[in-house]
């Protein structure tokens, strides 16, 4: 075998996040020797099936490759015997699915102006300092973006950027004894009952938001805001204008910190990215089918789901991925819930239903994300995957199905996609301190603006939505992903905001709505049964 083929094989596996041992590489080359005229297609199929394995490491050994290569050769032999069986070119292999507890964690150093990566996995139970670091990390993440925004940079010459002078951010500590308009950045905090403060890394100041003009979004406790105003004689900062930190373009973030894998999908060279982008443009038939609130204990829901499966089973091209988001039970699985065995058997029936659709079983991938009321240790975020006890019967029918955390991430070709199942809209509206701006009347647009400008999926107070302190980074949105899927029981919505595709598939069990997403064009289609 030529060195060019060896390099091609290693590059192909690297693009999917894998490293080949020497014996594994030899096994791949032996497999390709069976297809001298179709090496590229054979290699693509091999990587497809390797990606479907449940691997503990990204370093592939001989046994893993041999297992997949043998099954493919057997399948080819079977197709040659029965050419009418056909096949389906699925891009399921282009997907790299990442669990929240495997997300890389970084911390920004404001002195060196760079990010440091954690080399060890942080403990689930953090000490008191972990809570402080949670807020500090959120603040520094937004402040480093703001430092590159030309509207809030220190002017080189004595020029006025706004009608009040420079928009340079003043530390809250420096407000003491100052007069005139000032820009400050800080968390909205309620340090005393009924009294709200803006708090940064230097100090806190009480604020009056009663006459503030605000921008789009939900202003709740824990959100970081930019406020323009002036100090009054009684020590209260009178806010005139209040908004979120500006959103930085994804390309600018990626370019500024080139060589850092914030997403967790692996780094690619420029040539590899170009090759994947080409594959992405050509994959016009790829689609994801996304459903939220799939109640397995509801007969009507399961009947509608079978209609969907039948429809795609008989379609000319099957979906690359089915995403089922919780809740998977019509009743909350809390301490009073005692029907765990029934949920286990209902998952088994779902697995049997899918297994009866042979084309879907063979060519589609199935991903399950728990909802806020599903079985789990607590309602804290990020939520771990569903317990193995609940999914064993299902996986006996569909062994390749993946049960992941909430949230989770998917790298599809060059795209970065985030999935999050939480009833955020209701909680945000209920926790809002100020009536939302009239710039838009759509609550979903306010929600999207909030999470993208905060670079955080759930910027609610910890008293409203608990978060594991050491794993708050799992909810960060930096750099901004290409697509954000927000599973919510509210009505289905789609909103493209500053180049980010955001949508909510709605509640399947209530409205029988779901979304179809096409990665090649980032198009979203609302479907109803």
Distance CA 462, CA 189 (A): 12
Spatial separation of the C-alpha atoms in residues 29 and 23, rounded to whole Å: 10
Mapped onto helix, strand or coil, the DSSP state of residue 330 is coil
pLDDT of residue 85: 35
Q: Which of 79, 103, 127 is the last residue of a domain?
A: 79
| Cα gap 110→233, rounded to integer Å | 33
- Report the pLDDT value the prediction gives residue 165, as an integer from 0 to 100: 47
Query: Per residue in 516-525, pLDDT tens?
Result: 999 989 999 9
| The predicted structure's pLDDT at residue 81 | 47
For every residue of 278-326, which 3-state class applies, written as one string?
HHHHHCCCCCEEEEECCCCCCHHHHHHHHHHHHHHHCCCCCCCEEEEEC
Please list, in sequence order, all residues whose beta carbon lies within 8 angstroms of the beta carbon of residue 267, skipping any fewer than 6 positions away: 259, 261
Percentage of the chain surpassing pLDDT 90?
Answer: 65
Choose one of 79, 104, 139: the last residue of a domain.
79
Report the range of poorest mean pLDDT among 30-34, 151-155, 163-167: 163-167
Per-residue pLDDT of 297-353, as tens digits, reads: 999 999 999 999 999 999 999 999 999 999 999 998 877 787 889 999 999 999 999
Domain end residue (candidates: 45, 79, 113): 79
pLDDT of residue 78: 55
Residue 335's domain comprises 250-422+457-528
> How does residue 56 score in pLDDT terms, banded at 50, 70 and 90?
low
**224 pLDDT band (50/70/90 cuts)?**
very high
For the chain, give the mean pLDDT: 89
Nearest to 206 by CA among 219, 189, 183: 189
| CB neighbour class for 294 (10 Å; exposed up to 12, middle 13-18, buried from 19) | buried
Instruction: State the Cα–Cα distance between residues 153 and 292, nearest whole angstrom.
Output: 43
Q: Please answer whether residues 477 and 271 qualify as being in contact, where contact means their C-beta atoms are separated by less than 8 angstroms.
A: no
- 1 pLDDT higher than 90: no
pLDDT in tens, 94-150: 788 999 999 999 999 999 999 999 988 899 999 999 999 999 999 999 999 999 988
**Which of the four pLDDT bands, split at 50, 70 and 90, describes residue 167?**
confident
Question: To the nearest whole percent, how much of the chain has pLDDT over 70?
Answer: 93
Q: How confident is the model at residue 355 (pLDDT cuts 50, 70, 90)?
A: very high
How many domains does one find in the chain? 2
pLDDT at res. 93: 58
Establish if 207 belongs to a structural domain: no
Over range 209-219, report the average pLDDT. 93
pTM over 0.85, yes/no: no
pLDDT confidence of residue 4: 83
* In a domain? residue 133: no
Q: Residue 148 falls within a domain, yes or no?
A: no
pLDDT at position 74 over 50? yes
Let me know if residue 197 belongs to a domain. Answer: no
Range from 44-53, 239-248, 275-284, 487-496 carrying the lowest mean pLDDT: 44-53
Rounded alpha-carbon distances, angstroms, from residue 110 to 7, 259, 462? 40, 19, 25
Establish if 173 belongs to a structural domain. Answer: no
pLDDT band at 77; cut points 50, 70, 90: low
Q: 470 pLDDT exceeds 90?
A: yes
Q: What is the pLDDT of residue 110?
A: 93
Residue 163 is predicted with a pLDDT of 44
Query: Residue 65 belongs to a domain with what CATH number?
Result: 1.10.8.60
DSSP assignment string, 390-430: HHHHHHHH-TT-EE--BSEEEEETTEEEEEEE--HHHHHHH
Kindly state whether residue 142 falls inside one of the protein's structural domains.
no
Structural domain contains residue 285? yes
With a cut of 80, say whether residue 84 has pLDDT above it.
no
376 lies in a domain?
A: yes
Predicted pLDDT at 405:
96
Strand duo 415-421 + 483-487: pairing:
parallel
Sign of CA dihedral 237, 240, 242, 248: negative
**Arithmetic mean of pLDDT, 284-298:** 95
Give the pLDDT mean for 167-185. Answer: 88
Using 50, 70 and 90 to split pLDDT, how confident is the model at 513? very high
Q: Which residues contact 471 (CB under 8 A, 6 or more apart)?
A: 100, 101, 122, 124, 382
């Amino acid at each position: 075998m030529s060195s060019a083929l060896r390099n091609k094989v290693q590059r192909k596996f690297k693009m999917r996040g894998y490293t080949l041992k020497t014996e594994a590489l030899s096994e791949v080359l032996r497999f390709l020797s069976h297809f001298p005229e179709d090496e590229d297609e054979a290699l693509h199929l091999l990587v497809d099936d390797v990606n479907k394995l449940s691997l503990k490491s990204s370093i592939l050994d001989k046994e893993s490759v041999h297992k997949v290569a043998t099954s493919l050769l057997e399948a080819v032999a079977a197709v040659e015997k029965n050419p009418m069986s056909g096949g389906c070119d699925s891009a399921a292999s282009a997907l790299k699915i990442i669990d929240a507890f495997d997300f890389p964690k970084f911390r920004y150093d404001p002195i060196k102006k760079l990010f440091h990566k954690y080399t060890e996995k942080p403990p689930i139970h953090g000490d008191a300092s972990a809570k402080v670091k949670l807020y500090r990390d959120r603040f520094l993440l937004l402040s480093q973006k703001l430092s590159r925004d030309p509207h809030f940079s220190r002017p080189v010459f004595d020029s006025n950027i706004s009608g009040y002078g420079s928009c340079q951010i003043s530390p809250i500590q420096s407000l003491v004894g100052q007069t005139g308009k000032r820009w400050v950045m800080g968390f909205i905090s309620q340090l005393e009952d009924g009294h709200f403060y803006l708090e940064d890394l230097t100090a806190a100041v009480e604020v009056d938001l009663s006459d503030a003009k605000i921008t789009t979004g939900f202003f709740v406790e824990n959100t970081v805001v930019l406020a323009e105003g002036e100090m009054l004689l009684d020590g209260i900062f009178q806010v005139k204008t209040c908004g979120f930190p500006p959103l930085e373009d994804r390309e600018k973030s990626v370019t500024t910190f080139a060589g850092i894998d914030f997403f967790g999908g692996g780094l690619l060279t420029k040539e590899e990215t170009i090759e994947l982008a080409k594959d992405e443009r050509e994959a016009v038939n790829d689609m994801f089918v996304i459903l939220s609130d799939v109640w397995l204990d509801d007969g009507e829901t399961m009947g509608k789901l079978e209609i969907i499966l039948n429809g795609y089973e008989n379609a000319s091209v099957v979906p690359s991925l089915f995403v089922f988001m919780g809740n998977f039970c019509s009743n909350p699985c809390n301490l009073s819930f005692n029907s765990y065995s029934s949920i286990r058997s209902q998952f088994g029936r779902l697995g049997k239903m899918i297994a009866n659709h042979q084309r879907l079983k063979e060519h589609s991938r199935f991903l399950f994300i728990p909802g806020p009321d599903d079985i789990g240790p607590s309602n804290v975020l990020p939520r771990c995957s569903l317990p193995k006890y609940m999914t064993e019967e299902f996986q006996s029918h569909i062994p390749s199905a993946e049960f992941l955390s909430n949230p989770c991430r998917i790298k599809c070709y060059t795209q970065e996609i985030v999935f999050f199942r939480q009833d955020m809209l209701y909680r945000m509206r209920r926790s809002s301190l100020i009536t939302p701006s009239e710039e838009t009347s759509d609550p979903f647009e306010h929600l999207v603006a909030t999470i993208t400008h905060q670079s955080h999926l759930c910027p609610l107070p910890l008293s409203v939505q608990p978060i594991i302190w050491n794993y708050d980074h799992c909810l960060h949105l930096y750099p901004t992903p290409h697509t954000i899927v927000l599973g919510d029981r509210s009505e289905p919505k789609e909103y493209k905001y500053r180049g980010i595709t955001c949508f909510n598939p709605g509640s399947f069990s209530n409205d029988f709505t779901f979304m179809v997403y096409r990665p090649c064009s980032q198009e979203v289609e609302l479907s109803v049964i």
